[in-house]
Structure 1
């Protein structure tokens, strides 16, 4: 069977499974729509949480970033994994014991303020839409290559699929769909990793293969071979880091703290029967997540080795089939600057602005690019880093069914997180803004309808952000973590562990933290990208790591304002005390 036929078959079967689960588990009440009735088994919830957590950034983009950043890319592994430990220990069981539906629910009740709830909703929407842009971009990239459509069309197809199972099933449908998606994405990630580890090192365990000797007779270990190859081409060594220590620390901390403030992950701990199950869920999720995260560095190194060996110095006329496949989608390209017909790969941006495509064969050597080459370097190859995991099986010439499996896995990763984020957005609008703020007399049926309408509107906005994303998938996601670290995490943390924190302090802290972080990121990424260099950064901290400073501003402003204003009421003291008591808790309820 041809590879393209297998791709259609695998992707079609996975979609049928997801939609079938959504129909079977259709939400019939707000309780089921928001928190799946609060009766999900901790192991099942751990698997669903892992799928919710391991987004397009984890599956598609993280290994691509590590492949090109090398040592510097380790911040993503450390931050995202370490953050889960923080979430499991500090927040998950306490929030579950509180027994509400959403993060704004907790903040609105803990800080006895509709304004605090509204500010939390605004923070949540900022975070979720920033995050979801990366997911929809990932969906578009997968569809564009494997279903042979334009990236924009791919995003539109993904919007339709997510609409069906998130709007119909709510949290109940999403939970069981995400269990299926976890199985698909993990199998899709591990199978090619095992194949390629065997091909390069003879070791079937990718984690061990990364430290093994390459089986090409050179006697070099994987990383030593990669270092030598890259240095020969003019790149820095793969194992050398270029980021400053403070930037590495801040990016890692922002990712860790942001993890503990991500609303679509926190809400998963409201779906289990009791508080102790929340901690168990977090433990199981960490186990399931570790399976992919410990494999990613090996996938990154193997992908970079395969890519450099198959491209550098190869005649364009003899370029492998995978190169032409991805070139047709505008995600990889060649501009013959020196006219020798061979692909010279090295440091530097090969093009001025975005690559511009013409019908195949119009370039001097048959390449598809117009003459917009950068003249200040010799690099002739353009590569979208988000394709490395998806293209890896093709580059390594693996069987067609493995390529089809990776296509299904990439879609599972992106769609599972997109659905979780859309649910968080719709819940914030229907439950927090309507029911608890602007229309408290709304019926349950009306609230459920509002949630579905909000999810539909959110899908449209998410699709637009996916078509016009502000950066690579993993970079966009990193910004979402920074916003979460600077806005929601301090309010949740102080709400649990500090009785003195009042509504005025929490509101001032969230606004100042979110405002500073958003403006800093927007300045360097949107308004003044040419100034985005270490010498212009505050304290040498990049936009990816600035969430830590935003968090410190949040804490400082909140504490200062709280000291200057009245203490919280006595019933809030009692509420905080009850959250901390390590005994069982009832199901999620309306308040």
Structure 2
């Protein structure tokens, strides 16, 4: 069957499944809208949590960024998986026992202050919108490539789908939709990885195939081959890192504690009946997440070798269709600098390697060989620009896998992006309707009125998310990493101290969140978006990149919180008793709101 028709079929079936589940499980109360009624089983909740957390950054972008960064890309694997262990063991059971199903609700009640609640709502919105920007970019890219529509049109279609099941079903609809999305995305990630592993090494297990010998040359190890290819082209060795140790530690720590502070993941532990079920679902989620995460490095290696062997020193006119398909989207660019008609892919042009300084395309001009012309090419001899986000999506095409595998990958990409987008939109919706309107502005609002407010807030959030999809700020993984940094800088200290430090009071928590979030936002805007005078990597504070600065801001948050709390009144005795109680390992009832 024709590849395009298969893609429409696979994506259409998956969308019909999501919409059908949303109709079947539509929310009829605020409890169902916010926490799915609190009755989801641990296994189903574990799958939904995995889908919610493994966003477009995990599915589309992580293997891509590892394929370009090599050893340095391990920070994403260590940070994101380590963070989930931290969340499952250190925070989730206690937050579940506290019984408040949003982070602002926990902070508002634990720190007995509407000011603390307001700061937490602001932080939740900033984190969620930063995170959702990456998801909507992923949606637009996938739609534009695989369904052959404009990127903007693809974002609009994605907005409609998410809006339908997020607004109609709330957390109940999202939870069961995410169970289906997990099945789709993990199948779509593993099938091409197994195919390519067999093709390149003869080993059907990708994570073992990555370190195996090549099927075409049994005397050569695949990683040695990749190191050799990188060295020949002037890149750093794939298996050796170039980042400073302090930056590696900072990024890993920021991703870890950021994971533990993400509001759309924390809310997942309130959709189960008991604290014991929260612990179980955390364990299941980690298992489901590990399936993709231990495979991603192998996918990165396979895609990098395939790319180099396919494009380097190849006549442009002989390039297969996949190259021009991605070129037409502006996600691959080539300019024939030496006019020989061949693609020179060399490691002397950092601006060509996807560091955020993307070459621009005028959208019309073609070179003498028919190539898409780069408007602001680097001064290096490197002629090729490759967007990191295409590596997972293009890999099956580069490897010439069957059309049905390519169609499956398209469905998986959309499942990953839409599942997380829905979870984030619900956080935004609940922050507005529950934490602002119900808890602060209009406490006497009826349940029906609160449900209407929640759905209207979700509509507004989808519109803003769509704007970010049409005007993306950068690579999916890079943008998502900033969201983790924001969560680390703002929420993590307030939550940890709220659970384990009875003396922590509202003054300390508010000051810490303001300082942490303020520092992270300033650093991100200065060094990532070049505001406030901008700056280069040589100007980084303590040698830490924007992706890792959340760890530094977190320490300032802890420091300010503890110092301020020492010189201000202690919390009321009833609050201290609550803190003592949530640390007692006993059962708890259903989530309340």
Does TM, scored on the shorter chain, surpass 0.5?
yes
CA contact under 8 A between 1:61 and 1:389: conserved in structure 2?
yes
Give the match for residue 83 of structure 2.
83
Answer whether contact 2:99 2:270 (CA < 8 A) is retained.
yes
1:107-136 per-position Cα deviation (integer Å, ceiling 9, x unaligned): 111101111111101010010000000000
Q: Contact conserved, 2:213 with 2:221, CA < 8 A, in 1?
A: yes
Give the aligned length: 588
Cα deviation digits, residues 17-59 of structure 1 (max 9, x gap): 0000000000000000000000110111000000000000000
User: Counterparts in 2 of 1:7-156, with a 5 A limit?
Assistant: 7-156=7-156
Do residues 378 (structure 1) and 381 (structure 2) align? Answer: yes
The answer as to whether partners of 1:206 and 1:299 remain within 8 angstroms in 2 is yes
Say which SS state the counterpart of residue 385 (structure 2) adopts: strand
Q: How does 1:362-441 map to 2 (within 5 A)?
A: 362-369=366-373, 372-374=376-378, 376-441=379-444
- Could you tell me which residue of structure 2 aligns to residue 200 of structure 1? 200
Deviations 1:519-572 (A, max 9, x none): 011100112599554421111011000011111111111111111111100110
Q: Would the aligned equivalents of 1:350 and 1:378 in 2 still touch at CA under 8 Å?
A: no
Name the SS of the counterpart of 1:441 in structure 2: coil
- Alignment partners' CA distance in 1, 2:266 and 2:69: 30
* Aligned match of 2:157: 157
Deviates more, 1:343-352 or 1:400-409: 343-352
User: What is the CA distance between 1:218 and its match in structure 2?
Assistant: 5.7
Cα distance between partner residues in 1 of 2:28 and 2:160? 21
TM-superposed deviation, 1:370: 5.7
Quote the residue 1:355 is aligned against. 360
Task: Provide the C-alpha distance between the structure 1 equivalents of 2:22 and 2:48, rounded to a whole number of angstroms.
Answer: 14
- Could you tell which deviates more after superposition, 155-164 or 344-353? 344-353
Q: Quick one: distance in 1 between partners of 2:363 and 2:109?
A: 58
Q: Aligned equivalents of 1:208 and 1:508: distance in 2?
A: 49
> In terms of mean alpha carbon deviation, does 489-498 or 376-385 score higher?
376-385
Q: Cα distance 1:372–1:247, how it changes in 2: closer, same or farther (>3 A)?
A: closer
Answer yes or no: is the 8 Å Cα contact 2:255–2:481 preserved in 1: yes
**For 1:543, what is the secondary structure of its paired residue?**
coil
Q: What's the CA shift string for 1:72-102, capped at 9, x where partnerless? A: 0000000000000000100000111111221
Other structure's SS at 2:528 match: helix
Q: Hey, what's the Cα distance between the residues in 2 that align with 1:65 and 1:396?
A: 19
Provide the C-alpha distance between the structure 2 equivalents of 1:502 and 1:121, rounded to a whole number of angstroms: 18
Cα deviation 1:143-164 (Å, max 9, x = unaligned) = 0100111222211111111000
Partner Cα separation in structure 2 for residue 74 and residue 66 of structure 1 = 7
Structure 2 CA distance, aligned partners of 1:93 and 1:252?
Answer: 24
The alpha carbon displacement at 1:345 in A equals 0.6
- The answer as to whether partners of 2:51 and 2:420 remain within 8 angstroms in 1 is yes
Alignment of 1:259-270 (within 5 A): 259-270=259-270
Farther-moved stretch of structure 1 (9-18 vs 319-328): 319-328
Partner of 1:459: 462
**1:519 equivalenced with 2:522 (yes/no):** yes
Q: Is the 8 A contact 1:312 1:343 kept in 2?
A: yes
Name the CA distance, whole Å, in 1 between partners of 2:396 and 2:187. Answer: 14
Which residue of structure 1 lines up, in the alignment, with residue 255 of structure 2?
255
CA deviation after TM superposition for structure 1 residue 373, in Å: 3.0
> Which of 477, 480, 502 is residue 480 of structure 2 equivalent to?
477
* Partners of 1:363 and 1:370 within 8 A in 2: no
Name the CA shift for 1:184/1:529 in 2 (closer, same or farther; >3 Å).
farther
Distance 2:358 2:191 in 1: 37
2:587 is paired with a residue whose SS is coil
2:566 is aligned, of 551, 563, 567, to 563
What is the Cα deviation at residue 371 of structure 1?
5.3
- Supply the distance in 1 between the matched residues of 2:568 and 2:531 (Cα, whole angstroms): 39
2:334·2:374 contact (CA, 8 Å) conserved in 1? no
Unaligned runs of 5+ in 2: none
Q: List aligned pairs for 1:299-314, cutoff 5 A.
A: 299-314=299-314
> Is the Cα–Cα contact under 8 Å of residues 64 and 391 in structure 2 kept in the other structure?
yes
User: Match of 1:214?
Assistant: 214
8 Å CA contact retained: 2:102, 2:267: yes
Q: Do the aligned residues in 1 keep the contact of 2:526 with 2:533 (CA within 8 Å)?
A: no
Counterparts of 1:86 and 1:187, CA distance in 2: 27
Could you tell me whether the CA contact under 8 Å between 2:60 and 2:392 is conserved in 1? yes
> In 2, Cα distance between the equivalents of 1:243 and 1:5?
44
TM-superposed deviation, 1:580? 0.8
Question: Hey, what does 1:450 align to over in structure 2?
Answer: 453
After the TM superposition, which of the residue ranges 109-118 and 212-221 deviates more from structure 2?
212-221
In structure 1, the residue corresponding to 2:333 is in which secondary structure?
Answer: strand
SS in structure 1 of the partner of residue 238 of structure 2:
coil
Checking the alignment, whether the CA contact within 8 Å between 1:193 and 1:206 is kept in structure 2 is yes
Query: 1:350, CA displacement in angstroms?
Result: 4.9
Aligned mates of 1:332, 1:455 — CA distance in 2: 35
Pick the aligned partner of 1:587 from 581, 585, 590: 590
Cα distance between partner residues in 2 of 1:40 and 1:475? 33
Give the alignment's TM-score, normalised by structure 2. Answer: 0.97
Matched, 1:490 2:489: no
Distance 1:371 1:187 in 2: 39
Distance 2:375 2:549 in 1: 38
Offset, 1:382: 1.4
The 2-side partners of 1:502 and 1:370 are apart by: 55
Question: Which 5+ residue runs of structure 1 have no aligned equivalent?
Answer: none
**Do 1:330 and 1:357's aligned partners in 2 also have CA atoms closer than 8 Å?**
no
